Amino acid sequence: MSNYNKTNRTILKRLPARGHYDRELVHKILDEGFICHVGFIVDGAPVVIPTGYGRVGDKLYIHGSQASRMLRTLKTGVPACVTVTLVDGLVLARSAFHHSINYRSVVIFGTANLVEDSEEKSEALLAFSEHVIRGRWNDVREPTEQELKATTVLRIELEEVSAKVRTGPPIDDEEDYSLPVWAGILPLQVIAGEPIADPRLPDEIDVPEYVVDYKR
């Protein structure tokens, strides 16, 4: 996979060594995350909305109700900024100043386009389902025509994109390394718990393997 082209908006001004433009890395971060935050301007004021998403190639899809203010605004072509962040660990330094977080993030600049083609819309909805839990789509009832009409799907091309990553231990001032303070990394990760059945689920229906063995 090739790299994304750098632009004035995607080049990191501070700590540029943390910036990455590798397409494979960007896709990996997007595919691991659950929620993106979409920033845009409404009536002259900034708004940031968290929402789910799905990726197909170099296209990011978001969806929701036709009544959604975010979707109604974005489909007019206003500039948008979409971010996804994964927290990998707390970085505990010897000084308060140098504490940090290990993370992987993606920032996308662009505009959204309304998906009107029924085949692409269905592909996007499948991508949403598979993004959350792979294999689920084959078990459930697919959307009805009425449900599809009530759902707005928008596409954002992955063109002006960058990733930012911090890894490794704390970076203290040299004189602080002798302080008698524990320092290091506290790793964090998303771990699935024990499945909880719907109270109205018949007893004879077993938990699917993709739920029992779920990993992010």
Alpha helices in 2-144 (DSSP H): 23-32, 69-74, 118-132
Tokens of 128: 């949403």
Percent of the chain with pLDDT over 70: 100
Question: What CATH architecture applies to the domain 16-174+183-212?
Answer: Roll (2.30)
pTM score, two decimals? 0.93
Distance CA 189, CA 151 (A): 32
Tokens of 208: 């699917």
Domain-by-domain residue ranges, the chain? 16-174+183-212
Predicted confidence (pLDDT) at residue 1 exceeds the cutoff of 90: no
What's the pLDDT at 120? Answer: 95
Up-side HSE of residue 182: CA atoms within 13 Å toward CB?
Answer: 2
- pLDDT interval class at 216 (50, 70, 90): confident
Tokens of 104: 């992987």
Distance CA 11, CA 16 (A): 7
Predicted confidence (pLDDT) at residue 89 exceeds the cutoff of 90: yes
